Amino acid sequence: MGNLLFDQFRARIAGVDRPFIVLPAHKDAADRRLTYADMLALSGRMAAALVGCGVQPGDRVAAQVEKSAEAIVLYLACVRAGAVWLPLNTAYTLAELEYFLADARPKVVVCDPARVAEIEPLARRLDVARIETLDGDGAGSWSALAAAYGPAFEDVARAPDDAAAILYTSGTTGRPKGAVLSHGNLASNARTLAELWRYGPGDVLLHALPIFHTHGLFVATNVTLMAGASMIFLPRFDPGEILARMGQATVMMGVPTFYVRLVQQAGLTREACAGMRLFVSGSAPLLEETHRDWFERTGHRILERYGMTETNMNSSNPYDGERIAGTVGLPLPGVDIRVADPDTGLALPTGAVGMIEVRGPNVFGGYWGMPEKTAADFRADGFFITGDLGQFDAQGYLRIVGRAKDLVISGGYNVYPKEVEAEIDRLDGVAEAAVFGVPHPDFGEGVAAAVVLKPGAVLGERAVLDALAERLARYKQPKRVLFLDDLPRNAMGKVQKNRLREAFADLFARGA
Ligand code: MLC
Ligand code: AMP
């Protein structure tokens, strides 16, 4: 038995004489290129270093690091060593990290040198065996350690069901859950997408997404590896940089905010996009208006696809056929999608709105250490209940029309209101809080909080925001805090967030 995921990458990159990752240089220096041969050698050194640190197959390796080629190579080293890659958003605060490390119990933690002083005591307290550092330029104690090992490494055997990664997603209960993704999940999805989107070794992806979530890590990077293609690795999304590099690329993947911001650039023209063959959007709904504006400006129809952490990608608009704005396309080959009655799980007729449920080799096996939660989210026949509401049209295209889960998606990042409410409820003087999303011109949805104070309490918006700053990642913090006399409730006493969303629909309107 070989190493399922890495063997598939190996088969496709064998003999490819191209850069895997191109890192734009600072100032006038030349770009740095990590070839496929470099990647194989460095991932071998890092895999050997992991084993040297005592990492056994199945052990977790957590990393909260800036985007770098070395961070991607560390992910691949974990795959090769049979370890489980656990990437963490760089925006997470120490309070948030504590939960993830306590829950996943990693053997090794790699963090930015700038944060090691605060993370090390926490990691020690949680019995993490090794704490290493890696910065945005790929330097740090981790790279120094790996350099002491040779490049030859015999990949650890891994079967389709063996875990390759754990990605945390928050939950409606406010307690984040670790979705365990297997070698089989990742390999099958990357293979399907590379084929469907006609990926080849000549492709160059403009990569401006973060690498700690499904989109930038698995969709972008694994698809590139499945084709032996290249990526231009931008540290973050910057519209000017994207336009400057467009002439060297063939594909871009982004969240809708990327497209909204690029459309505002005068430099976005047909000429600028002449060498591009594909623009992909996902992670949040793309407005039909953005799809239309993009087509008018560039002559390209953005290809919208739909996925989630637990399932990888589920559906995609076609490469050759019609890409219909406002839909997330057709089920991927090998993936079953049904729109079901939320109570029974029985499929509903075409056109009816219901729960989107998914089954296929892309769907994860379960949440880390949460068998009851896992069981509750699957039907007896193996379909995963996404929490998204949708409908199929007569042509078989899926449209997402809403969410059954209480979730806000801001700039492609998920914010679970329950988690933010719990933090606001802790504050002195707060009687209760309701967190909800309303349309935002840049982020799609913006997070707002409605707060009811206890009688006589004095608390302002600034004080609430300041108190949250230490506890929650910046993107989860409300962009506005509103003080109300009471929260709207239904007859059962449940807070009616739809009424809050309606009442404050214009909160973030352009110019408001
Ligand atoms: C940054 N801020 C955000 C934010 N991103 N606030 C809300 N939502 C966000 N997404 C904060 C900043 O901290 C800053 O705070 C202020 O908002 C303005 O920041 P900015 O400079 O405009 O933000 P920027 O750094 O440009 O980031 C915006 C962004 C980024 C859209 C480029 O958020 C991003 O890369 N999003 C991609 C997320 C992603 O990869 N999602 C995929 C999940 S996988 P201050 O302090 O200045 O007020 C998934 C599955 C699937 O969903 O299907 O793909
Ligand atoms: P995450 O848990 O971060 O992986 O986010 C997954 C969620 O993002 C899904 O359940 C959807 O609600 C949403 N999502 C992803 N892609 C799309 C899309 N193209 N259109 C609408 N929502 C999307």
Q: Is 255 in the pocket of ligand 2 (CB under 6 A)?
A: no
53 CA distance to ligand 1 centroid (A)?
Answer: 34
Q: Is 290 in the pocket of ligand 2 (CB under 6 A)?
A: no
Which ligand 1 atom lies nearest to the CA of residue 411?
10
Q: Is 111 in the pocket of ligand 2 (CB under 6 A)?
A: no
Which ligand 2 atom lies nearest to the CA of residue 414?
3
438 CA distance to ligand 2 centroid (A)?
Answer: 16
How far is residue 174's CA from residue 116's CA, in Å, rounded to a whole number?
27
pTM, rounded to two decimals: 0.96
Q: Is 384 in the pocket of ligand 1 (CB under 6 A)?
A: no
414 CA distance to ligand 2 centroid (A)?
Answer: 8
Cα→Cα distances 220→1, 54, 87, 197, 282, Å? 27, 30, 15, 12, 11
Q: Which residue has the least CA distance to atom 33 on ligand 1?
A: 411
Which pLDDT score is estimated for 478? 98
Which ligand 1 atom lies nearest to the CA of residue 447?
7
Q: Is 8 in the pocket of ligand 2 (CB under 6 A)?
A: no
How far is residue 66's CA from residue 138's CA, in Å, rounded to a whole number?
9
Residue ranges of the chain with pLDDT lower than 50? none
236 CA distance to ligand 1 centroid (A)?
Answer: 10
Q: Is 315 in the pocket of ligand 2 (CB under 6 A)?
A: no
307 CA distance to ligand 2 centroid (A)?
Answer: 6
Cα→Cα distances 129→62, 108, 245, Å? 12, 6, 41
SS3 category, 228 = coil
Question: Mean pLDDT across the chain, nearest whole number?
Answer: 96
143 CA distance to ligand 2 centroid (A)?
Answer: 35
474-494, pLDDT tens digit by residue? 999 999 999 999 999 998 888
Which pLDDT score is estimated for 27? 65
Cα→Cα distances 44→22, 30, 75, 183, 496, Å? 20, 26, 12, 18, 54
Ligand approaching nearest to the C-alpha of 445: 1
Q: Which residue has the least CA distance to atom 20 on ligand 2?
A: 285
Q: Is 356 in the pocket of ligand 2 (CB under 6 A)?
A: no
SS3 category, 178 = strand
Q: Three-state SS string across 244-258, please? A: HHHHHCCEEEECHHH
Q: Which residue has the least CA distance to atom 23 on ligand 2?
A: 284
Q: Report yes or no: 5 and 186 within 8 Å, Cβ to Cβ.
A: yes
Phi, psi (5° rounding) for residue 303? -95, 115
Q: Is 191 in the pocket of ligand 1 (CB under 6 A)?
A: no
Phi, psi (5° rounding) for residue 464? -65, -50
Q: Which residue has the least CA distance to atom 15 on ligand 2?
A: 283
335 CA distance to ligand 2 centroid (A)?
Answer: 16
Q: Is 140 in the pocket of ligand 1 (CB under 6 A)?
A: no
SS3 category, 104 = helix
353-373, pLDDT tens digit by residue? 999 999 999 999 999 999 999
Residue among 463, 469, 475 nearest 416 (CA): 475
Q: Which residue has the least CA distance to atom 31 on ligand 1?
A: 411
475 CA distance to ligand 1 centroid (A)?
Answer: 6
411 CA distance to ligand 1 centroid (A)?
Answer: 5
443-465, pLDDT tens digit by residue? 999 999 999 999 999 999 999 99
Which ligand 1 atom lies nearest to the CA of residue 446?
7
Which ligand 1 atom lies nearest to the CA of residue 238?
26
326-349, pLDDT tens digit by residue? 999 999 999 999 999 999 999 999
Which pLDDT score is estimated for 170? 81
Q: Which of 283, 358, 466 to mutate to test the pocket of ligand 1 (most atoms within 8 A of CB)?
A: 283
69-115, pLDDT tens digit by residue? 999 999 999 999 999 999 999 999 999 999 999 999 999 999 999 99
How far is residue 39's CA from residue 20's CA, in Å, rounded to a whole number?
8
Residue 461 exposure: Cα atoms within 13 Å on the Cβ side:
11
Q: Which of 317, 409, 443, 468 to mutate to test the pocket of ligand 1 (most atoms within 8 A of CB)?
A: 443
Query: What is the full DSSP assignment across 24-70?
Result: PPSTTSPPEEEEHHHHHHHHHHHHHHHHHTT--TT-EEEEE--S-HH
Q: Is 282 in the pocket of ligand 2 (CB under 6 A)?
A: yes
Q: Is 46 in the pocket of ligand 1 (CB under 6 A)?
A: no
Q: Which residue has the least CA distance to atom 49 on ligand 1?
A: 283
Q: Is 169 in the pocket of ligand 2 (CB under 6 A)?
A: yes
Q: Which residue has the least CA distance to atom 9 on ligand 2?
A: 308
Which pLDDT score is estimated for 147? 98
Q: Is 328 in the pocket of ligand 2 (CB under 6 A)?
A: yes
Which pLDDT score is estimated for 346? 97
Which pLDDT score is estimated for 510? 73
- Name, in order, each residue with C-beta under 8 angstroms of 413's C-beta and a sequence gap of 6 or more: 89, 475, 476
Which pLDDT score is estimated for 493? 85
Element (H, E) at 389: strand 384-392
Q: Is 254 in the pocket of ligand 1 (CB under 6 A)?
A: no
